[in-house]
Amino acid sequence: MARLRDCLPRLMVTIRSLLFWSLVYCYCGLCASIYLLKLLWSIGKGPAQTFRRVAREHPPACLNDPSLGTHCYVRIKDSGLRFHYVAAGERGKPLMLLLHGFPEFWYSWRHQLREFKCEYRVVALDLRGYGETDAPIQRENYKLDCLITDIKDILDSLGYSKCVLIGHDWGGMIAWLIAICYPEVVVKLIVINFPHPNVFTEYILRHPAQLFKSSYYYFFQIPWFPEFMFSINDFKALKHLFTSHSTGIGRKGYQLTTEDLEAYIYVFSQPGALSGPINHYRNIFSCLPLKHHLVATPTLLLWGEKDAFMEAEMAEVTKIYVKNYFRLTILSEASHWLQQEQPDIVNKVIWTFLKEETKKKD
């Protein structure tokens, strides 16, 4: 009987693991079926239009706007990967490191590059696999451990031991993990529209609404098909994410200009440009939940109340994982793309957080 009691916890862990992976693969299959039907419908309506792609050989002028900063590259010694970033502000000033989400790249921080360069060396990075940063082919090269190590190595390569770290969406996930694993390098943590990783994993399993909103996480587990679906109809899905009424930028704030949108399409229409970004998601279910999860850094969490991909309740729950000063600011009528849609408000809130003294929780 005692032996049975000893085995019972391990058995429960095994059963939970089996149920979890059954859910993942079943939902992957469901998502694939839905997108396959969408593809067939599109082909039926107009096969020529479905497979049409406009050649984009030259970047839009906005990507070389000198007011945004200088294009730079750094090669990491251990991984051998070359990372691209845009830097604004004088060398020697405190570092502000910006981590973008999906499907974005350094340009999503254009408003912050201009705003904070007066007091910071602002660096907007292209994450591993994105934009002009090197993109390893194997999905194993996009495990969370690799992504965390990238940021630590980049800090060292830039000659900094600490920074103000800001992340949006998937970049927010990485920012949380850096603050958890390397608290000594993060002076202040600012995350936009992504909850603490453990909140996300627990919430998604208990709330069908969030499971539905995160369906793309499951769809991305399938090889090559997600990349193909993003590219059909001349990247219509990408345009839809940024411009549609349900998910897009510009309900109450700034709207993407035609040139802004073309910048995104240019970057992701390059050969193989979608595989690296989607590979980030292909390892996530084997890495969460986290064993170590407490955050000891003063933290600001910014949230767009009308986020089409994240339930706002997760923002409130996040505070239990931060064992330091925690501030939550929810912007009503704002979408998922907060730093692009409401840059004036976002920048003001960030300035306030950076200037204020933050006292650790007792």
Helices (H), the chain: 2-45, 47-50, 110-116, 144-158, 170-181, 197-206, 208-213, 215-219, 225-243, 258-268, 275-279, 313-317, 338-341, 343-355
SS3 327: strand
SS3 240: helix
d(CA 345, CA 335) in angstroms, rounded, equals: 13
Closest CA to 199 of 341, 55, 295, 338: 295
> At residue 85, what is the residue type?
Y
What is the DSSP track for 294-311? -B-S-EEEEEETT-SSS-
Residues designated as active site: 169, 281, 336
The DSSP code for 193 is S
Q: Is 362 exposed, middle or buried (0-12, 13-18, 19+ CB in 10 A)?
A: exposed
Closest CA to 303 of 182, 194, 152, 205: 194
